[in-house]
């Protein structure tokens, strides 16, 4: 257990507590939210450190009493037995956590190979994440969507956020960061007349939503184009040039939004997505700069290779990274994702305790 790290974090907790008690900080809601999130992250650590300190003090007192009166020996033994668990919990909390865990997210879902069936599956995934968010009491907002002819989605961006400050610093990212990658479906498509099972896929990208202070964007490095919105099949659904396409010239990242009727609204939505993508790109560059090539490769593989299979005939959901299988696909698609997400979280926890912070994401 790193005593220096513990002291530093407890000092930070005390400083954040003072800042939150100062009415001046609440004049800037963005700053108050950031400080509140970090404070919430450190609350479990402060509590665990306090409980361990109290238990150690109680043990000293009980042993002193036992030296004079043997009847206190059992109490001393009982207190001593609680120390290993308290020390283990504190040691786990001292392991550096994902810096984005408290953040909200933007989930991008794109239909892949499989044509219309893939677009229908992408719509299933959109409903799955929306319903899971509802179960958690989170807020959802479709930032942009391109529908397909049969009611699926070719491409959709969904913002998911917590209400207020997430407890313990466990925001949406802490639960949904595992979802990025290729999701494969095996089922009989609605367009299949002979009842044959087809395999298709959709890609999911989960980005921690960036605040303006997280990413600096030079307006001179943006190319902004406007065009008319279009619906399924390419037909025009808007008679004005309200859709917006933003290109970040230095990186080549392109974001388009056409859901809103107002050009200004579409521009604001596109900037939210752009900030999130730039934050993710900056994180990858930081990993590479730290000479942690394996970590960067794992992230790349997670996005480009199949991570999960949804088999409808067997009502089976399988996560290939950790060997998780359950036969409750219908419930998972209805938003009951805690089974697979808990398994992924536990795999990550075990990996971090073993000193391999990326093992749980393979």
What pTM did the predictor assign?
0.75
Q: What is the pLDDT of residue 150?
A: 82
Please report the pLDDT score of residue 333 as a whole number. 97
Compute the average pLDDT of residues 128-134. 97
Strand-pair partners of 183: 202, 308
Q: Copy the structure tokens of residue 359.
A: 């093992």
Q: What is the pLDDT of residue 195?
A: 77
Say yes or no to pLDDT of 325 above 60: yes
Grade residue 356 by pLDDT with cuts at 50, 70 and 90. low
Is the pLDDT at 79 greater than 90? The verdict is yes
pLDDT of residue 287: 65
Q: Which two tokens stand for residue 356?
A: 């391999």
Domain spanning 105-212+302-354 has what CATH number?
3.30.70.1660
The CA-based angle 208-214-217, given to 5 degrees, is 110
What value does the mean pLDDT of the chain take?
Answer: 86
Cα dihedral sign, 73-74-79-80: positive
DSSP string over 272-329: HHHHHHHHHHHHHHHHHHTT-HHHHHHHHHHHHSEEEEEETTTTEEEETTTTEEES-H
Residue 105: strand pairing partners: 160, 208
3-state secondary structure of 119: helix
Q: 96 by DSSP, 3-state: which?
A: coil
What pLDDT is attached to residue 357?
Answer: 56
70: its two tokens: 């043997």
- The Cα-based distances of 254 to 144, 214, 245 in angstroms read 14, 19, 7
Architecture per CATH, domain 219-289, reads as 2-Layer Sandwich (3.30)
Which residues, 6 or more positions from 289, have their beta carbon under 8 angstroms from its beta carbon?
Answer: none
Residue 126 pLDDT grade (very low, low, confident, very high; cuts 50, 70, 90): very high
For the domain bounded by 1-94, which CATH number is listed?
A: 1.20.58
Q: How many residues does the chain have?
A: 362
Determine which of 102-106, 120-124, 207-211, 232-236 has the lowest per-residue pLDDT on average. Answer: 232-236
Return the domain boundaries, the chain. Answer: 1-94, 105-212+302-354, 219-289
Average pLDDT over residues 226-247: 69
Per-residue pLDDT tens digits for 260-290: 878 899 999 999 999 999 988 887 776 665 4
Apex 252 CA angle, 249 and 258, nearest 5: 90
What would the mean pLDDT of 29-53 be, rounded to a whole number? 89
The set of residues, in sequence order, having a beta carbon less than 8 Å from that of 141 and lying 6+ positions away, is: 158, 159, 161
Q: Using one digit for the tens of pLDDT, what is the confidence trace for 284-316?
A: 776 665 444 334 333 433 334 689 999 999 999
Closest CA to 39 of 164, 137, 216: 164
Rounded average pLDDT over 19-39: 87
pLDDT score recorded for residue 81: 94
């Amino acid at each position: 257990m790193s005593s220096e790290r513990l002291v530093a974090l407890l000092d930070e907790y005390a400083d954040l507590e003072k800042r939150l008690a100062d009415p001046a900080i609440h004049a800037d809601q963005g700053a108050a939210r950031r400080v509140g999130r970090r404070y919430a992250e450190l609350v479990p650590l402060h509590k665990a450190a306090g409980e361990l300190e109290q238990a150690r003090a109680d043990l000293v007192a009980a042993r002193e009493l036992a030296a004079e009166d043997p009847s206190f020996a059992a109490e001393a033994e009982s207190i001593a037995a609680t120390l290993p668990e308290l020390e283990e919990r504190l040691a786990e909390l001292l392991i550096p956590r994902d810096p984005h865990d408290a953040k909200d997210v933007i989930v991008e879902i794109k239909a892949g190979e499989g044509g219309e069936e893939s677009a229908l599956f992408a719509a299933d995934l959109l409903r799955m994440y929306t319903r899971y968010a509802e179960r958690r009491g989170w807020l959802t907002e479709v930032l942009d969507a391109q529908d397909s002819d049969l009611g699926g989605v070719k491409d959709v961006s969904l913002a998911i956020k917590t209400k207020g400050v997430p407890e313990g610093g466990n925001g949406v990212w802490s639960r949904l960061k595992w979802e990025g990658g290729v999701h494969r479906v095996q089922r009989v498509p609605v367009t299949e007349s002979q009842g044959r099972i087809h395999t298709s896929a959709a890609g999911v990208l989960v980005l921690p939503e960036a605040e303006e202070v997280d990413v600096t964007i030079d307006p001179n490095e943006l190319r902004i184009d406007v065009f008319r919105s279009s619906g399924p099949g390419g037909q025009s659904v808007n008679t004005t040039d309200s859709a917006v396409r933003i290109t970040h010239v230095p990186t080549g990242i392109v974001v388009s939004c056409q859901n809103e009727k107002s050009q200004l609204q579409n521009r604001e939505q596109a900037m939210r997505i752009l900030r999130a993508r730039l934050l993710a790109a900056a994180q990858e560059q930081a990993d590479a700069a730290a000479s942690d090539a394996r970590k960067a490769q794992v992230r790349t593989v997670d996005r480009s290779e199949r991570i999960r299979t949804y088999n409808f005939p067997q009502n089976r959901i399988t996560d290939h990274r950790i060997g998780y299988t359950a036969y409750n696909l219908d419930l998972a698609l209805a938003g009951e994702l805690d089974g697979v997400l808990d398994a992924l979280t536990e795999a990550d926890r075990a990996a971090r305790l073993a000193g391999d912070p990326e093992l749980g994401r393979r």
